[in-house]
Chains A and B, each alone.
Chain A
Amino acid sequence: DGGITQSPKYLFRKEGQNVTLSCEQNLNHDAMYWYRQDPGQGLRLIYYSQIVNDFQKGDIAEGYSVSREKKESFPLTVTSAQKNPTAFYLCASSAPLGGGAGETQYFGPGTRLLVL
């Protein structure tokens, strides 16, 4: 089955610790995205990548880092510099841009990060 997987479903972080959230897709999509959701807020873009070995900061990139070494994988690291990491994190992917319509994004099931 084609789709996007995220792991783990729940993740606990201790103070000062870096943690990495996994996102894998087998849809052969070039573009991948990381969003954060907080209660009462819309999804906010953290980082995105349009192609392997390239990525761009979104609206709330501070305290996060990403890598894009493989087309199918886009892991997100929440660093100790992120002072309020408790949130729900969604990964998405889309086919290459074309047609001027903005490609539909396909979402994973999400990871909930909690701080101990």
Chain B
Amino acid sequence: ILNVEQSPQSLHVQEGDSTNFTCSFPSSNFYALHWYRWETAKSPEALFVMTLNGDEKKKGRISATLNTKEGYSYLYIKGSQPEDSATYLCALVWGSQGNLIFGKGTKLSVKP
């Protein structure tokens, strides 16, 4: 059974802190990895699609890196703001159909 692990499960930080969390996945037969942000009462929104080993993507204060050989991706948030509070999901693209296998998410709370 394919398993995508995210850690930590939850995280509480103060406004202005920088933070990061991890997504781990089987390194064999890698296809692509997605990161999504899911704010309370809203729909999950795509952040990044990562495909190549060593990929690094950035959107504002949020960035992500990918290591397909060791099977992990890091998501970094620089200078966290209360509006960054959300659950961050990573999902592994699996198989020729391109279906996503989701981790359980990391719930980030940023206190003002």
Interface, chain A (partner B; CB < 8 A): 4, 33, 35, 40-45, 48, 50, 56, 58, 90, 94, 97, 100-110
Docked-complex contact B49 and A101, CB < 8 angstroms: yes
Provide a sorted-by-A list of 11 A–B residue pairs whose CB atoms are within 8 angstroms: A4-B43, A35-B102, A40-B104, A42-B104, A43-B91, A43-B100, A43-B102, A90-B43, A101-B32, A102-B32, A102-B49
- Return the 4 tightest CB-CB contacts between A and B, nearest first: A102-B93, A42-B102, A107-B43, A43-B102
Count the A-B residue pairs with Cβ separation under 8 angstroms: how many?
A: 60
Docked-complex contact B31 and A100, CB < 8 angstroms: yes
Main secondary structure of the interface of A (DSSP, over half): loop
Scoring B residues 20 to 60 as 1 if CB is less than 8 Å from chain A, else 0, what string do you get?
00000000000110100000001111100101000000000
Docked-complex contact A45 and B97, CB < 8 angstroms: no
Residues of A within 8 A of B32 (CB): 100-102
